Amino acid sequence: MKVLKLVVAALGIASMLTACGGGGGGSTSTGGVYYTHEQLAQAFVDRAYGDAGIDAKLVKTNTLQYNYIVVYDYDYGTYDAYWIGGYNVGENVSDFISRNNSKMYYDLDYAGGNVYEDYYTGTQFEETTGTSKDLAKVAAIKQQLQIKKSAEKLKAEFGFSEKRSTEIARLAAKLSSAPKASMTDKDYDGFAKEIMGSTFTQLKSALNKSSQGNSADLNALVDQAAKVNGVGPEHMNQVLTGLIK
The number of distinct structural domains making up the chain is 2
75 and 167 in a single domain? The answer is no
Query: What band does 129 get if pLDDT is binned at 50, 70 and 90?
Result: very low
pLDDT above 80 for 87: yes
For 162-204, how does the pLDDT look when each residue is reduced to its tens digit (9 = 90+)?
Answer: 888 888 888 877 777 777 677 777 887 888 788 788 887 787 7
The residues, any chain, with a CB within 8 Å of residue 204's CB and separated by 6 or more, are 4
Query: Has residue 137 been placed in a domain?
Result: no
Q: Average the pLDDT over 124-148 and give the result.
A: 57
For 45-85, how does the pLDDT look when each residue is reduced to its tens digit (9 = 90+)?
Answer: 999 988 888 888 888 887 778 888 888 888 888 888 899 99
Residue 61 phi/psi, 5-degree rounding, is -85, -45
- Of residues 51, 36, 160, 64, the one with CA closest to residue 96: 51
189 and 165 in a single domain? The answer is yes
119 and 159 in a single domain? The answer is no
pLDDT score for 126: 31
7 and 27 in a single domain? The answer is no
pLDDT above 90 for 44: yes
